[in-house]
Amino acid sequence: MPGRSTILWVILPTAAVTLYFSIWWLATPFFLRVIASEQGVVELGTAALFFGAAALAIHLVVATRDSMPGVYRLLYASFALAAVFVALEEISYGQHLFGWHSPEYFREHNLQGEVNLHNMLGSKPSKRMHMVANLGTLIGFGVLPGLLWAGRRALQSPPPAAAYARGTWTHYLVPGLDLLAIIVLAQLVAWLKKVPGAGVDHNELRELLWAWAAFGYIALMRRRLLIAAKGR
């Protein structure tokens, strides 16, 4: 039977992506209304995962005040603030949930007339945020853990002693390869638009996968660092 990590970070994301495209293909009206709308499953799920990641990060900062160096606690606190900001941007600060109208400034300067920053300036902030999310998750959750795994294999060192030794920056910041499936799925969704005849950009699904990866990262690191704190 698959372990909890495999279920949370491999099986469920793969099933979610499969279901997403199945509904998109078979039931387009339902898809547009329930899955892909501003108050749809994908949009709200993305915000919920970022809010969840922020909550876990704050708990980690508080719980490790006597066991983790301040610089790493500051990084996780910054991560929490960034996650809250992205979550609020994702739901336009509750505009669609509560049905309030945009002030005149946002109606005139926001590409979609919404109360958020990422669609200002012709959506340039949104494009930058996508670039940061794409590179950040790819490098942080894929490339770096992969290099550490390859180094362990080359040195024939039993994990996690060589790569994640307590006190090293990798111990405090770098996850294992648990999130690789989510990163691969996000890349596949991005490449789908390049397929001849596809013609669809599923950016909202990519954002959901990035949010899932962010939540998974904090959950995995929180587990590792709290276990280390108990065993100090």
Does the pLDDT value for residue 193 go beyond 90? no
> pLDDT at residue 162 above 80?
no
How much of the chain exceeds pLDDT 90, in percent?
Answer: 59
Q: What is the pLDDT of residues 108-133, one digit of tens each?
A: 788 787 887 888 887 788 889 999 99
- Cis peptide leading into 160, omega within 30 of 0? yes
The residue whose two tokens read 């005849």 is: 197
In the predicted model, what is the mean pLDDT of the chain? 88
How many other CB atoms are there within 10 angstroms of residue 33's CB atom?
Answer: 12
The alpha-helical segments, DSSP class H, found in the chain are 4-6, 12-26, 28-30, 41-63, 70-90, 95-98, 104-109, 124-138, 144-155, 169-173, 180-192, 203-230
**Percentage, residues of the chain above pLDDT 70:** 91
For residue 197, pLDDT over 90 is answered with no
pLDDT score recorded for residue 231:
67
pLDDT of residue 180: 96
Average pLDDT for 173-177:
95
How far is residue 174's CA from residue 89's CA, in Å, rounded to a whole number?
A: 27
The whole-angstrom separation of Cα 139 and Cα 62 is 27
pLDDT at 230: 81
Q: Where are the domains of the chain?
A: 4-230
